[in-house]
Amino acid sequence: MREALLDACFGETRHGRTCQRLRDGRAPAAGLALSAMRDGKLVGTVRLWHVSAGGRPALVLGPLAVDPACRELGIGAALMRQALAAARARGHDAVVLLGDAPYYARFGFSTEKTAELSLPGPFERDRLLAIEFTDGALDGAAGMIVPTGPALPKRRSVRAPEAHAA
């Protein structure tokens, strides 16, 4: 269900996006994969992932997705508030994301601590944003943002039994 919603919101080319490189093969941070349901249907999702932001432990948020038919209901904002509250409650110090600065500013995100950080692929500098829950958590953060979360178990390929000629 989540993958179908993400495809509907971002298209099937979403797997090639820069921030996807921070999520590929990794599990979301414990307790930080949130969903919004409406009438039994998944209408929103957001997840956070462990990263090192230039040597500083942090989370990367994304993607935040809301079903296009539900975009004016405040679901995205509610998911953001809940995700940030849960991350703070779990003792995380900072969150980074790549997104629309005017939208995310209302949650406290800015470019103030991201000027010296990079992503593993092309990105627009003014869209790399961060929020600190602990003052100074990203002070001096410089360099590449890299994934640090637990790897997902490798999927074992199951081969169908071979047919034997009679």
Block means of pLDDT (10 residues each) for the chain, length 166 residues?
A: 55 60 85 86 86 96 81 88 97 95 96 95 94 97 93 65 50
Q: What pLDDT is stored for residue 7 in this prediction? A: 53
Q: Is 144 helix (H, G, I), strand (E, B) or coil?
A: strand
Answer yes or no: is 59 within a domain. yes
Confirm whether 158 is domain-assigned: no
Q: How many domains does the chain have?
A: 1
The DSSP line for 52-77 is EETTEEEEEE---EE-GGGGGGTHHH
Q: What is the reported pLDDT for 154?
A: 72
Inside any domain, residue 155: no
Report yes or no on 143 lying in a domain: yes
What pLDDT, on a 0 to 100 scale, did the predictor assign at position 149?
A: 84
Identify which of 86, 92, 78 has the alpha carbon closest to the alpha carbon of residue 130: 92
- Residue 120 included in any domain: yes
Specify the residue for token string 């996807």. 20
CATH number at residue 54: 3.40.630.30
Report pLDDT for 9. 46
Q: Tell me if 88 is assigned to some domain.
A: yes
Tell me the residue range of the domain where 136 lies.
2-147
Q: What is the C-alpha separation between 131 and 96, in angstroms, rounded? A: 7
Residue range 44-84, pLDDT digits in tens: 888 899 999 999 999 999 888 887 877 888 988 999 999 99
